[in-house]
Amino acid sequence: MSNNPLHVVILAAGKGSRMHSNTPKVLHKVAGRTLLDHVITTSLELEPAQIHVVVGHGKELVIDEFADIANGSSLTFVTQKEQLGTGDAVNHALPNIPANANVLMLTADVPLIQTNTLRQLVESMQSHTLTVLTAIVENPFGLGRITRDESQAVSGIVEEKDASAEQKRITEINSGIICARKSRLSDWLSQVGNNNNQQEYYLTDVVEIAYKAGDPITTLQPHENDEVNGINDRVQLAAAERIYQQRLAAQLMRDGVTIIDPSRIDIRGLVSIGADTIVDVNCVIEGKTQIGNNVQIGPNCHIINSEIADGVQIYANTVIENAVVGARSQVGPFARLRPGSKLADGVKIGNFVETKNAQLSFGTKVNHLSYVGDAKVGENTNIGAGVITCNYDGANKHKTEIGKDVFVGSDCQLIAPVKIEDGATVAAGSTITSNVAEGVLAISRGKQREIKGWQRPVKKNK
């Protein structure tokens, strides 16, 4: 890569009117991350000296979205008060860029661009003053065309609205991604006018100006044309989502993950999945999620911001959110682990079980139809069907503590705050309102009665 410092300028000031949204276009999402986040993340992999994001429409929302990243980092924001075109936007960033820098100009609505493509673009600055990323497409409608002279040297870029009929037949298009030397870029931009149908200052005009000045210009093309797909409406947003998901699925499979149907998985966030893990169809995995090796995930599961250790089995239709699942545990089907659930190794959570803010120790079983919330459960405890930890009194939450080797029979209510000591047994159908001592049987039932001659109610005729 060139010895000159690299500065990245990301154009993110546009409104995106075709999105028909109150949300700035650059904050719409692909794979759970904003379009601008994708471009910033890719830019950071180039290790630039500075990233300058030019904002305008909805700038407060955009800046707030990236406040945590920008604080103390190489990311800064530049305001373009009036949207007078891409050339004007870059001009706003130039005063903060040293004269010896290479300037990589990106657009925030092209989120699929890949690092290797941009790295090649920057490396071309060793022998050129200007490099344009182009692509050959079947349908160039609406895109800027690359013009060339008789020797096939790049002579300019003409926008669709300004192109002649002959120029509209050109299939080599401008991606909107350009790299240039700052020392020459400033001079070119000073010559850009707004004598066009949009009455805007086009960044693309610098290509013709550089050509006429005799500056060396080259073009590069991406490995895949999908990389330069721009997003202007929600149809294109959805198309980008599918492309990105296919990329993620392909990489996971190359890394040793079995994905039953790559077209039916969605990864949204910073997700890692270990080798020999199997993911069935229609699974959505979001946020900062780590999934270990040899995990089996059944169909229709939703995992969010969670840690799943090695050898876990997650059965169909299970939801896991902000939870930790220990090695060789089993969860589901139709289970829900809510935030704060922490399962140690070898825990079994069965069908229609819900946990919340609960710590379950090694070997504990909650097999079916139970709710365990605001609770701490010891090792090798069995919680039967239909058990409820009654943790909420209508105003405050209270904790249930259950020791190790406890057996809680079916259809019990444990009224928190309450503590059940090690080795205790709670008989089925009990409502426990007081602490249960170690090793005892606790039983709390109404006395069974039989009423002879009982007549069932008879439905009355209307």
- Looking from the CA of 343 toward its CB, the CA atoms found within 13 Å total 38
Instruction: Find the distance separating the first CA and the last CA of the chain, reported in whole Å.
Output: 89
- Sequence length of the chain is 462
CA distance to 56, 95, 264, per residue, from 82 (Å): 7, 18, 43
Q: In whole angstroms, what is the distance from residue 276 CA to residue 293 CA?
A: 6
Check: CB of residue 182 under 8 Å from CB of residue 102. Answer: yes
CA distance to 119, 137, 146, per residue, from 172 (Å): 21, 7, 6
Sequence-distant (≥ 6) Cβ neighbours of residue 179 within 8 angstroms:
102, 103, 104, 105, 121, 122, 124, 125, 130, 131
Query: What backbone phi and psi angles, to 5 degrees, belong to 36?
Result: -65, -35
The yes-or-no answer on residue 92 being catalytic is no
Catalytic position from the list 7, 52, 92, 368: 368
Q: In whole angstroms, what is the distance from residue 428 CA to residue 443 CA?
A: 8
The partner residues of 265 in beta bridges, in order of sequence, read 283
Q: In whole angstroms, what is the distance from residue 104 CA to residue 176 CA?
A: 11
E strands, 18-137, in order: 29-30, 33-34, 50-55, 75-79, 102-107, 130-136
Q: Residue for token digits 């050898």?
A: 311
Angle, helices 35-44 vs 115-123, to 10°: value is: 50
Q: In whole angstroms, what is the distance from residue 369 CA to residue 255 CA?
A: 37
Quick one: which H or E segment has residue 246? helix 234-254
The catalytic site residues sit at 368
